[in-house]
Amino acid sequence: MENYVHMHECHGHKISIIINRTHAILHSIAILFLIHYRLSFFFQHPPNITIPTLPWLLIFVSELLLYLAWLLAQSHRWRPVYRTVFPERLPGDDKLPAIDIFICTADPNKEPSVEVMNTVISAMALDYPPEKLHVYVSDDAGSDATLRCMKEAWNFARYWVPFCRKYGLVTACPDVYFSSSEDGFKGSSEFKAERKKMEEKYEILKQRIRRIVQEYHRDVTVNNKLDHSSIIEVINEYHKEKDEVKIPILIYVSREKRPSRRHNFKAGALNVLLRVSATISNSPYILVLDCDMHCNDPTSARQAMCYYCDPQTSQSIAFVQFPQTFRNISEDDIYDSQLRFVFKIQWHGFDGAGGPTISGTNFYIKREALLGSFSKQQDLMALKRSFGPSNDFIKTLVEDYKPCFIEDGESSRMLLEHANVLASCSYEDQTTWGTKVGFLYFCVLEDYFTGFTLHRKGWKSVYLYPKRPQFLGTATTNFNEASIQWTRWVSGLTSVAISRFCPLICGPLKMSLVHLMCYLEVACMPLLYCLSIWGFALIPQLCLFNGIPLYPKISDSNFNIFSIIFISAISKSLYEVVTTGDQFRVWTNEWRIWMVRCVTCYTYGSLDAILNKLGIKEASFLPTNKVTDDEQVKLYEMGIFDFRAATMFLAPLVTVILVNFAAFVGAVFKALVVDDNGDRYWEKMFGQMFLSFYILVSNYAIIEGMIIRKDKASIPLSATLWSVVFSVFILLIGSVILC
Closest CA to 33 of 467, 694, 558, 655: 558
Contact 525, 718 (CB under 8 A): no
Q: Which CA distances in Å does 217 have to 109, 225, 315?
A: 9, 13, 48
266 marked ligand binding residue: yes
DSSP string for 646-693: -HHHHHHHHHHHHHHHHHHHHHHHIIIII-S-HHHHHHHHHHHHHHHH
* H-run or E-run covering 434: none
Whether the Cβ atoms of residue 533 and residue 699 lie closer than 8 Å to each other: no
Instruction: Answer yes or no: is 95 a known binding residue.
Output: no
H helix count then E strand count, the chain: 26, 13
437 Cβ contact list (under 8 Å, min separation 6): 370, 371, 372, 386, 387
Q: Which residues are catalytic?
A: 140, 447
Burial 166-188 (b: 16+ CB within 10 A, else e): ebebbbbbbbbbeeeeeeeeeee
Contact 409, 249 (CB under 8 A): yes
Using alpha carbons only, what angle is made at residue 161 by residues 155 and 167, rounded to the nearest 5 degrees?
Answer: 140
Helix, strand, coil percentages (3-state) for the chain, rounded to 5, are 55, 10, 35
The neighbouring-strand residues paired with 320 are 364, 462
Total Cβ atoms within 10 A of residue 54: 12
Tell me if 111 is assigned to a ligand binding site.
Answer: yes
- 290 among annotated binding-site residues: yes
Helix axes 647-669, 513-545, angle to 10 degrees: 50
Spatial contact of 280 and 404, defined as CB atoms under 8 Å apart? yes
Residues at the binding site for UDP-alpha-D-glucose are 110-111, 140
Residues at the binding site are 110-111, 140, 266, 290
